[in-house]
Amino acid sequence: MGATWITHLSVRKAVMPRLRSLRRPAGTSGAVLLATGLAATGLLVGWPGSALAAPVTTDPAQAAAGWLAAQFVDGDGDGVGDHMEVTIDLNGDGEITDDERFPDYGLTADSVVALAAAGVAGEASTAASDYLEANVELYVGDADVDDDGVDDPDGEYYAGALAKTLLIAAVTGRDGADFGGVDLVSRLLFTETPDGRYSDVSEFGDFSNSIGQSLAVLALARTAPDELSAEAKTFLAGQQCADGGPQDGNVPLTLGADACAAEAASVDTTSFAVQALRAIDFGQSVDPALDFLLRSQDDDGGFSDLGVTNANSTGLAAQALGPGERDDEAVEAAVQWLLSRQLGCATPPEQQGAVAFTDGPDGTPVFDDRAARATVQAVPGIVGVGLSDVDAAGSSAAAPRLDCGPAPSPSPGPPPTDPGPTATSTPTAPGPTPSDPGPTAGPAPTGPGLPVTGTAISEMLLFAGAVMVLGAGLLLATRRRAGLHR
Ligand SMILES: [Ca+2]
Ligand SMILES: [Ca+2]
Ligand SMILES: [Ca+2]
Ligand SMILES: [Ca+2]
C-alpha cells in the first residue's frame, strides 16, 4: 500500500504532522496509550502461514522477537512482512479498509532494535530497514522539497525521527549519511540550535522532546561522534532534576520543564536519557538518574509511568539500569517482571511470545493492542542490551516462534499436552478481550476507537478527522490540540 494515500504535496504536508504526532511518543507510556487506539484494527494480524515453518525457541527474548516479526505487514508486495501498521477507522464503520491503514515508522524502527537485541529475525530486520529507507522522508520529513538533491532550509526536519532513524542505521550497519538517499547526520545536525537542542524545523512547530534528544545523542555517538557538540551533551544533562529531592536525577519528557516537579517524573524518559548520557562524557555522573530509577521501582520489580506498572517502562528501565551497572537484583527483578508478562503456550498461537503491556483485573497478563509496543521495549530489557550497544550483526535469519509443541495444523489433531518450556510464562486464563483492557490498563477505549481519557487517542481521532476533511482550520486546531500535552 505504501504511500498511495499521500500523493499531493499539500496532502503530504497535512498528514505528515499527524504521523509525527503518532510516532512522537514512541517508547513512552504515551505511545503505549496510543497503541490502544489500534483496537479492532488488525495490527495484530496473527501468525502468517509461512511462519508455521519457523524454527522454534525456548528463549523468551527470541520468542518475543519472533512474535514481533510475525506482526510485520508486507508493504512492497514481495511476500515478506516489512513494517508495523497503524489502522484508523476513519469513517467509523467498524471495518478497516486499505485506505485506513498507515505505516507506523516509529514502531517499525523500534522493532528493528528489538530483533537485533534478540539476535534473530535478520530477514525481517533487513526487510524493515529496507522499508524505512524506501520511505525515509515520510518519517523524518522532506527536507529536499523540490527534489533537486539539495536540502532546503524551509523543508521539514523532524529531530526525533531523524535521530531514531540514524540509530537504526547504526544498529543495522547501514550508512547514516546515505539512508535511502538521505544524509541523516547532516539533517539531524541542521536541527541543532546554538544551545545544543535538536529541534524540529517544521512549519507545524517544534515538538522535539527529551526522548528525541537522547536518541540524537545516542545515534551521533555511534555514527558521527565528532559531530556531537559539547552544547548538545550539556543540554541533555541539564534537563535533569538536581535539587536532591525525591525527583533528583529525573529527566522530564518536556524539554525545559521543571524536572523536579512531581508530575514531571518519567521513568521512560529518564531511561532513554541515562543510556545517552552513559554513552558520552559530559563531565558528570549518571548516578543521580540511576538512583531515580531505582527509587521508582515497584516492590514487584516492575516500573510505572503515568501510574500504570507496565512492560514499556519496565523494559526501558531494565535497559538503562543494565546488568552489573548498579544493582543486579533490581535488574533481575525487572526482567522477571517482564518474563512473567510474556504470553506462553497456554495462550492462543497468535499471542505466544508477545509481552503484555500490563495485567488485567484478574492479575494475569492481558493481550491487547498495546502488546507490540510493549514487546519492542521489553526485549532489549530482557536481553540486557542498551541502545548504545545493540547490533543486528550476526543475527540469525529466521524469526523463531515460541516452542509450544507441534504447530497448529488445518486438520484437527490431538491437543498439545505439553504446556511448553517457558516456566516463567504461565498465564492460564485467557484474560479480557482487547476491547476490554480493564480498569488497571490506563486510558482505554470503551469501544472501537472511543477514548476515555487517552490524549493520544484524542490526537488520533483528530488526525482521522484531518485526513478526511483536510481543512486548514481543522488542521490548525489539531496541531494546537496535539501540542497541549507535549
Ligand atoms: Ca515486503
Ligand atoms: Ca472504516
Ligand atoms: Ca524530497
Ligand atoms: Ca532542494
Question: Residues 24-67: pLDDT tens digits?
Answer: 333 333 333 333 333 223 333 334 444 446 899 999 999 999 99
| pLDDT of amino acid 134 | 98
pLDDT > 60? residue 16: no
Ligand nearest to the CA of 88: 2
C-alpha of residue 472 to centroid of ligand 4, in Å = 25
| pLDDT of amino acid 357 | 98
**Matching residue, cell 547514516:** 176
pLDDT > 70? residue 461: no
Model confidence at 322, pLDDT cuts 50, 70, 90, reads: confident
Rg (CA), the chain: 21
C-alpha of residue 463 to centroid of ligand 4, in Å = 28
Indicate whether 236 belongs to any domain.
Answer: no
Indicate whether 377 belongs to any domain.
Answer: yes
| pLDDT of amino acid 327 | 82
C-alpha of residue 12 to centroid of ligand 3, in Å = 12
Ligand nearest to the CA of 93: 2
The domain containing residue 115 runs over which residues? 9-223+247-405+419-484
C-alpha of residue 398 to centroid of ligand 1, in Å = 15
**Matching residue, cell 544493582:** 327
C-alpha of residue 142 to centroid of ligand 3, in Å = 5
Q: Residue 240 and residue 176: Cα distance in Å, rounded?
A: 29
| pLDDT of amino acid 54 | 82
What does residue 447 show for φ and ψ, rounded to 5 degrees? -155, -175
Indicate whether 92 belongs to any domain.
Answer: yes
| pLDDT of amino acid 158 | 98
Model confidence at 179, pLDDT cuts 50, 70, 90, reads: very high
Ligand nearest to the CA of 73: 1
C-alpha of residue 143 to centroid of ligand 4, in Å = 7
Query: Which residues have CB atoms below 5 A from the ion given as ligand 2?
Result: 89, 91, 93, 95
What does residue 228 show for φ and ψ, rounded to 5 degrees? -85, 110
pLDDT > 70? residue 445: no
Indicate whether 234 belongs to any domain.
Answer: no
Model confidence at 379, pLDDT cuts 50, 70, 90, reads: very high
| pLDDT of amino acid 405 | 86
C-alpha of residue 144 to centroid of ligand 3, in Å = 4
Ligand nearest to the CA of 80: 1
User: Tens of pLDDT along 206-229?
Assistant: 999 999 999 999 999 999 999 999
C-alpha of residue 23 to centroid of ligand 3, in Å = 20
Supply the mean pLDDT for the chain: 79
| pLDDT of amino acid 324 | 63
Query: What percent of the chain has pLDDT above 90?
Result: 69
| pLDDT of amino acid 281 | 86
Ligand nearest to the CA of 126: 1
Indicate whether 231 belongs to any domain.
Answer: no
C-alpha of residue 155 to centroid of ligand 4, in Å = 8
Tell me which DSSP letter residue 263 carries: G
C-alpha of residue 138 to centroid of ligand 4, in Å = 16
pLDDT > 60? residue 366: yes
Find the mean pLDDT for residues 172-189. 98
**Out of 16-20, 74-78, 154-158, 262-266, which region has the weakest mean confidence (pLDDT)?**
16-20
C-alpha of residue 131 to centroid of ligand 1, in Å = 8
Find the mean pLDDT for residues 103-114. 98
DSSP 427-460: --S----TT---GGG-S--SBTTB-SS-HHHHHH
Ligand nearest to the CA of 468: 2
C-alpha of residue 101 to centroid of ligand 2, in Å = 10
Query: Which residues have CB atoms below 5 A from the ion given as ligand 1?
Result: 74, 76, 78, 80, 82
C-alpha of residue 80 to centroid of ligand 1, in Å = 4
Torsion of CA 226, 232, 237, 238, to 10 degrees: 160
Ligand nearest to the CA of 87: 2
Ligand nearest to the CA of 149: 4
- Dihedral sign for Cα atoms in the order 150, 151, 153, 156: positive
Look at 199 and 323; give whichever has higher pLDDT.
199
C-alpha of residue 148 to centroid of ligand 4, in Å = 5
pLDDT > 90? residue 383: yes
Ligand nearest to the CA of 78: 1
| pLDDT of amino acid 306 | 85
Ligand nearest to the CA of 151: 4
Q: At 149, which CATH number?
A: 1.50.10
Q: 35, 369 in Cβ contact below 8 A?
A: yes
Indicate whether 3 belongs to any domain.
Answer: no
Task: Give how many domains the chain has, as a whole number.
Answer: 1
| pLDDT of amino acid 409 | 55
Ligand nearest to the CA of 41: 2
C-alpha of residue 167 to centroid of ligand 3, in Å = 21
Model confidence at 161, pLDDT cuts 50, 70, 90, reads: very high
Q: Residue 25 and residue 32: Cα distance in Å, rounded?
A: 8
| pLDDT of amino acid 325 | 63
Query: What percent of the chain has pLDDT above 70?
Result: 72
Tell me which DSSP letter residue 380 carries: H
C-alpha of residue 326 to centroid of ligand 1, in Å = 42
Look at 248 and 440; give whichever has higher pLDDT.
248
Indicate whether 389 belongs to any domain.
Answer: yes
Look at 317 and 324; give whichever has higher pLDDT.
317
Indicate whether 279 belongs to any domain.
Answer: yes
| pLDDT of amino acid 282 | 87
